[in-house]
Structure 1
Amino acid sequence: MLTCSGYTPSNRHGSIHLAAVLLMLCLLLPPSGVAMADTSAPVEVTIGVLAYTGKPEAIDRWQPTADYLSEHNPGYHFRIEPLFLGEMRRAFDANRLDFVLTQSLQFSELSRVGRIWPLASLVRRDGDRMVERLGSVVFAREDQGFEHLSELAGRRVAGVGPNALGGWLLGMQALEDAGIDVEHAITPIFTGLPLGSVIDAVLDGRAHAGVVRSKYFQRHIEEFPESRLAPIGPAERHDFPYPSNTPLVPEWPFAATGKAPDGLPATVARQLTSLPADSAVIEAAGIALWQAPLDYSAIDRLRDKWMPEPLTAGEVVRDHWPLLALIVALVIGLFHWQSRRSTRRLQRQEDRLRRTFSGLHTGAVLLDAAGNILLANRAVAHFARSTSADEASLMGQSFCTAFALHVEGTETDCPLGVLMRAAEHGESAAMDGTIEREGHRLDVNLRVNRLEGARDPQLLVSMLDVTELRSANALLRYRATHDRLTGLLNREALEDFLDRSVTNGEKKREVPDTACLIWLDLDEFRLLNEIGTRQFGDRVLAALAGHFSLELPSDAMIGRVGVDEFAIWMPLASQDNCIVAARNVLKTVHSFLMPGEHDHLRLKASVGVTRIDADDALAARRMDDAERACQSAQRQGGDRVVQYSGGDTELLERKSEVERYNSLRAAISSNRLSQAAQRITPIDPALPMHHELLLRIVDKDGRAAFPAEFIEIAEKHQAMTEVDRWVVRTSCEWIASQLDTPMTVSINLSAHSVQDPGMIPFIRETLLDTGADPGQIIFEVTETAAIRNLEQAERLIKALRRLGCRFSLDDFGGGFLSFDFLRRLEPDFVKIDGQLIRDMPDDPVASVIVSAIIEVSRVMSARTVAEWVETEDQYERVRSMGVDYVQGFLIHRPEPVSRR
């Protein structure tokens, strides 16, 4: 290629003609290396920005700056990448960033691990003043009387955390400058974010003094002058608008990394520092201007002094090699002696383990990969196919030969493959089954553990006889759903039957197109108790229940819903004979003969009836309709049938429900959901504090509303999972944005989310996207939701634990109160139902239940939380019982997360 700019003639006078030719070619051809039209793509330049208020906010704030740099640097396209604190370090280590905008302390950290240098320093605006530095203030209550920082020796000082620049490090430097041995002469109290927690610690006397950012302190005393807080000693600094008695350090730097293209950092520095204060770019960033970079060595010194780097292995070896050599010599000297001793000890341990295994009360066998029994204990003979079998005779047999086991949900005669597959995806699995043993049937609970042997994996199968326990549970379930006097369904069971019949217009099973719901109330039933006795009235009700069972159709569902009230669900083949069915029921009442000497008496009843269509989404609500029709029959004199007609009342009720559901959908679509946080405070100060995140719905006027009625509508219309996903993502983003101090929070999951198979992948993806630490998250599931969906709850809990999260069983004691379920779920935390806490002063049974929950949880190594603690008496009661945490208005009222 001909290069015009590179030609230099060696003989000026002898090359005139050649130069003229070259000049013409240069006018006609483009310069060397330059195409006629540059169509190459611009170079991508990445600016990593610390997103301390959230990633969307960081992009909105700094994208105009990136656009400005792209416009003034042809050939380059600047892109904002918002990052949380940990993500910034990882992106820098991976050499993905050309420029970095972050807080001063992290800039100092990055300068230790890679090449980075400041181009400009951020200047903030406070009214008409420019603020280029930040500072802190060491403060106390005015009534403490501290006049100088040196008086804090031997005192308690509160701060956000040991690595918080404005909330601790600057304060410690000021105390050291005042002559205090910070490491030994003060007692630190770290409260975590928000900064208001430090002020609370000083106000309530937990700390004598505190350290917070100067700007935050100024705003607090302006908003709450009655708190009577003041800096300790002189707190005025030249050209600094806020009170400060600590060193001042520079604001955030805009820095270039070693990845930035050559020459570009200097250009960017000139462009940023030349931006006028009234430019749109500066206004969008919310700052005053950019200035030449300040000296950040003060930050380095603070980091070296208060956050020293740990010693490396090389430094330890260099400084202590004689001692290390002596230790190595001693280890080598002891190794031979220890190996001989270990051999004898292992033999004794093996014998002891065999005796222990044989003495277990739970039957257990150890199987090889082929299903042959390698080891069995004495208790397993109780489950063997032959009653004459013992542990010795079982050795070497096939598992399927020794035990006639059937696992629930399978049809195979030998479930060995089922057991092995159950243990493939984890070290332990549980399942239920039955064992046939010479004419007897045993209900068993199986637990399968996969053991990695020296050669092939082995399987440890333990068997627990739960025959009596299941019978007891079946009896409890029957008593929970049936009336004890008549043996009929109770109201709750009948409503549950109606809900399961049709839900949201979809048939849950084969049901008729039309059914009648009949409500029957015996007229003047109290007269029977006066004529005879109360026992006679009970005999009449029991006999009438039997009379209904004989006279009414076999597919009718009958329930006792009051003292002398019955509800009857009756399927119909015709669309128009509900009134006829109700009259037949009244005739059945009339034909009933009184027991004993009162057979001359006859019963009368008021009967209400309503029709239920198969696509009725509110079938259980028809109970109320039938009851209202029955009341109408009573008002008309009784002993008659009245059919319910919804009229305006029914239309208004349905319209109200639709409006509430539409309001919920509008709140979700317009992002009017918010969260509040409530402290869960430990009784023992050594335990960490938690916070529970509570859902709030903001109405159109901006007021936060408690979502109880909206949650009921969301659950009814299958929208609760969407709400829970919003809560999980928002909570994880908030946890990841807590820069200075990690905070453990509890997040509630509804029963719908427990059943949702997509919830576990969603939580896993959300944790990866947001960078939230799973160890800071406790997922809460209510006792009722866990027990109704026990198998799915167990799978969810195990998956969450594999992710690193913890699990809390909420409202325990308010539902079924089954300690067997508690044993299976193995929660990290058990939250005792608040109604039990409220009932303890007046109900001794409530105190016994709470004490039992605490004791069982302690044995299971689960922490207990007492909810609804609102009085000092309740606090003292649960504290004396040994509860670990308390939660309630006595301790803390929920605050919006935005204020934390």
Structure 2
Amino acid sequence: MDKRIKEIESDLTQSPKVVERNPIRSVIIYFIFGFLWILFSDRLLAMMVQDPELYQEIQTYKGWIYVVLTSVCLYFIIKLDYRKVLKLNADVSDRNQQLTTYNEELIAMEEELHQKLTTLYETTDALTEQKKYVDEIYNSSNAIISVWNLSGEILDVNDQFVEVLGYKLEDIRGRNWMDFLIPESAEPVVVDMIDRLKVGYRVTNVENEVLASDGSVLIVLWNNAIIQNPMTNETSVVSFGMDITKQRESERALQSMAYIDGLTGLQNRVVYESKLERYTRSKKPFYIYYVDVDDFKMLNDIHGHHKGNLFLKQYGMMLTQQFKDMEVFRWCEDEFLIIERRNDETDREKTVEAIRRLTQREWLLEDVVYQPSISIGTTAFPEDGEDAQALLMTIDMALYKAKSLGKGLNVNYEVALQYEVERLITIENAIVEALKRSAFKLYYQPIYDMRAGKVVTVEVLLRWQDNPLEISTQDFINVAERTGHILEIDEWVIDNVFQFVAKMKTKVLPYTVAINLSVQTFKSEKLIEFLEDEVAKYGIEPSRIAFEITEYSFIDDFDKAKTAVMRLKQMGFRISLDDFGTRFSSLNYLVKMPFDLLKIDKSYIDQIVDETAHAIVVEHIIQMSRALGLKSVAEGIEDECQYQQLCRMGCDFGQGFLMAKPAPIEELINLEPQLDYRKTPIV
């Protein structure tokens, strides 16, 4: 285009010169024509005309002819020049148009070039910023990044690599990372990774040990890929690593927690069940010993959980040391399991006796001397069960039988115990069916003011209508507690009692209603929420309800139990301590728990007339209750002598067959509030 513009400019430069030469040429032509005309016309005329007058006249005509001829000549010369000027103007105009077009094109090209330059600058700036961004990501990433060639030589590393592993780039660039980064134990994993990388160009999730510059060993999870440098066309490998050392340490710690009992250091029930599965598959015979420390709760209650934990630690250590050829597990709380591989010389009874001798001695727990007794249940593989599930059931039944017979006993599983297992399953199935059919019914037994003879409370008692198994209430309650169905039963009872109390709003209800809470229900995380929903559902006053709780509810976690009791009290419910005087009775509960009533167990009431010791205990319990601001309730009053003596002792309330038997709700509503025998004077 520049060449064409120069040609146009050259033409435009030459055209004026041509125009400039045209006048000179015309003058020269006119001069020559005039000179020749005058020269030759005068001579010719002088030769042809001799007469002066004619000569003068012809000379005049000659002048006019000259003027005419020169005018015609000038006309054609001027016309020719004019045409040239017009043509030149046209050419100039055309050239100007071309120059304008070319100029516009040049302007457009210049604008396009400027735009391209602007875009180029913007792209360059963007690439620069992108490079800074990539570099920032590269060096700010939490990932350990290294770039190396297939020979293993380090080409580049990011800041995280330097920070985590401690190697500076200038110190390791060009070095083979296998020589300083990988411990010998991890070399097979790394070599395998490189072989796979060469085949597949990408290898992910390779975990191996890495040596840091300070000599420490880290665990790094790598993702590797082969890449090609677009500038140099060289092939290299980029590795992205994450330091997972702490994660793996945490996993190992959690795994240890999952399989090792935190208190005793023994293998826990998870390991026991796993090994039991493995041992049963091996088909080699073995014995299982299930050890339970009798009344271990008393140690915690009297001397505190610290002493209890101290004993469990020492006991677990001694079991491990004494029975090195066996496997010892902590099942839960104060229960332990021991697996003994059998051979011709194995004697189960001798092992039981060895466990008993080890346990039933004096244990020095700092300043406390503790002498426990144990109950032991045993089972044998494969005689008593061919799989882990069967053995778990038989060993449980053996220990259950040992504990039900008393303390310090041993029971070997026998086939006869299978009947009890089958009976347990039968009762459980019947309970499930009864819940579906609402086959249970509530009876109410009045609790009387001992002196006024008025009903102050009614205790709710559960009865099973059309009982297909003809078992006692206590038996099916025990089974329900063991199987967990007691939670559903308790909720059914609470719902029906609340419904009854709500209906009685229209009548005068001169007494509260007492509901027994099982240990499982009391410990349930859902109890408070369930009660809140029930109160809102029926709109009853919680003060019309008293919950009876046994001491078994506080065995595992006293603080948690106290919190639960406080929640119930805050909601407005009354709380009774049931069955006081049996087994684990502790003054600690009475002092620290906000009870309203204390119920004296029937086993003491039965003997207060004939046994002086029982009478003394009951009287002291009544006096202690009064001193603590509690009301006392005597259970199981069956004759007038018991009634009279309890009145003399100052017992506040009483219940029993003497005064009223449990009855359905229909009879309760019409219950005579006064006792007929109240007229008998208290002696």
TM-score band, normalised by shorter chain: 0.3 to 0.5
Structure 2-normalised TM-score? 0.43
User: Using CA pairs below 8 Å that are at least 6 residues apart, which structure has the higher relative contact order?
Assistant: 1
Structure 1-normalised TM-score? 0.33
Q: Which structure's residues are more often helix, by fraction?
A: 2
Q: Which has the larger Rg?
A: 2
